[in-house]
């Protein structure tokens, strides 16, 4: 339980348990651990955490992609797949960032782009996984991909 709560998920004025290197119950305070109050007016860090994730993802993804490209260097189709997936994921993150910033007039266009990118990624990954499976499981993988795309369409465009 140590250090699992952080100011990003706490309301101002509430107590949170601070991260600590000591084991539970070794503080001599009845097992409460280090507690601190989240001050009023504190920016709880949600925006900072989101920006940090968006900024760190491309760097981490570059390392994974470089390893995947290195391991499949002789196969041009696999290299193209990795590069296309990386480009689509990067575009998806950029679209999501723009969606958070956009006003009502641009929101629909960005939703279309997000849905197209997620559907493309889902179908791309299904096209790589399905041939490796038995025929019945392959059909299930394709059905799940289509259901995911349809569910995304419903969630973005048809839900109230």
pLDDT in tens, 19-54: 444 555 555 555 555 554 444 444 445 544 554 555
Q: Would you list the domain boundaries of the chain? A: 1-44, 46-158
| pLDDT for residue 116 | 96
Cα distance between residue 79 and residue 32, in whole Å: 52
**What distance lies between CA 105 and its chain's CA centroid?**
25
pTM greater than the 0.85 cutoff: no
Give the residue with greater pLDDT, 73 vs 43. Answer: 73
**What distance lies between CA 125 and its chain's CA centroid?**
16
| pLDDT for residue 62 | 83
Q: For the segment 98-113, what is each residue's pLDDT rounded down to a tens digit? A: 888 877 778 888 999 9
Give the residue with greater pLDDT, 124 vs 55. Answer: 124
Please measure the distance between the N-terminal and C-terminal CA atoms of the chain and give it in whole angstroms: 38
């Amino acid at each position: 339980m140590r250090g699992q709560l952080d100011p990003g998920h706490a309301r101002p004025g509430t107590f949170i348990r601070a991260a600590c290197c000591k084991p539970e119950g070794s503080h001599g305070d009845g097992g409460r651990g280090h507690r601190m109050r989240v001050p009023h007016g504190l920016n709880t860090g949600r925006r900072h955490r989101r920006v940090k994730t968006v900024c760190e993802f491309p760097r981490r993804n570059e390392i994974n992609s470089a390893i995947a490209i290195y391991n499949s260097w002789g196969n041009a189709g696999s290299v193209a797949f990795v590069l296309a997936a990386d480009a689509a994921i990067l575009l998806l993150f950029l679209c999501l960032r723009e969606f958070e910033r956009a006003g009502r007039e641009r929101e629909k266009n960005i939703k279309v782009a997000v849905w197209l990118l997620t559907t493309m990624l889902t179908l791309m990954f299904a096209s790589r996984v399905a041939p490796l499976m038995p025929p019945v499981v392959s059909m299930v993988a394709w059905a799940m991909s289509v259901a995911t795309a349809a569910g995304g369409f419903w969630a973005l465009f048809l839900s109230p």
